[in-house]
Every structure is written in structure tokens, then in C-alpha cells.
Amino acid sequence: MRTYRYFPPGADEQRGFVMLFFGTLLGLAAIGALLWFVVRDGGMKAGLWGAGAALLWSLGRTAWRLEKKAQRSANAEIGVGDDGLHLSDEKARGVVVPYDDLTFGVVGGRMALSWPGGKLEVGAREIEDGMDLMRAIGDKKNGTGSGGFTPPSNFIPLDSA
């Protein structure tokens, strides 16, 4: 059985989170200074408190997404076996989906899998050998060999003939 694993968060994503973290600290310091020294109006204070809450919400949401992606890369995987598709999530809970129950397609550039009781959408760039995974699932679902699913191509020929 061939197993495909998710990619961990990249260096750019981690760097983006660090920049957001320091930007949030700087923004909260500015809001605190304005609240303490400048603003006397109650409506303005409420607006600044709301801005501070929005900054913290943005930071928390980004941290949550980064942590979920890290957990998914550590625990989740997709296995293409003879008996079905072996799926496990970020909490390492697994399920085996027979190919007969699987509905397979591409929606918005992402592989969309659905079966009774669940669904999964994953991009080819989120998982190692994503295009190979799509071909392998298509071959298993439609029969092995050249009769399998071929993902749509965005190839544009350069010659005008």
C-alpha cells in the first residue's frame, strides 16, 4: 500500500506568523498608549478595544491554522490500498473507504473525495506526490492501467500552429 503524507508548514508560513505576532504586539502597544494617554471619549475607547480584540482574534486564528497544519502533517495520511482508500486525520483517527463507495473529482483545482459519512478536499500541493495520488485513486476506482482518471492539464502550447 502506498501512503501519501501531508506537507508540514513551510518556512514562509512560519515567518508570516512571526511577523503577524510582532505586528500584533506593536499594534496592541499603540492601542494601549492611545487608551492611556490620548483618548478620553468613551466611543473612541470602545473602538480601540474592538481593534485590539480584532488583532488578537487574527493572531489566534492564524496560530490555530498553523497548528492544525502541523498536526495534520504529523498524523494524517492517505493510503491507496487494494481494499480501499485508507484515510487518517490530524488526530490519527483512521477510516477505510471502499472504492465502490467513493465519489472522486476535481473541484476548484482541489481533489474532492466524498463517501457516505464523510468528505475530503485536498490540493495537489498540500500532499507529497499529489498528482500521483490523484492518478492512483483514479486508477483504483476506474480499473488499473490507462483507463484511470487523468487530472485536467493547464498546459498551453507555445506554437501557434
What's the mean pLDDT in 67-72? 92
Q: pLDDT at position 70, please?
A: 92
Q: Name 2's Cβ contacts closer than 8 Å, sequence gap at least 6.
A: 79, 80, 136
Q: Is the pTM of this model over 0.75?
A: no
User: 23: pLDDT confidence band, cut at 50, 70 and 90?
Assistant: very high
Pairwise CA distance, residues 19 & 112, whole Å:
33
Check residue 57 and give its pLDDT.
95
Q: Which of 21, 103, 10 is nearest to 60 (CA)?
A: 21
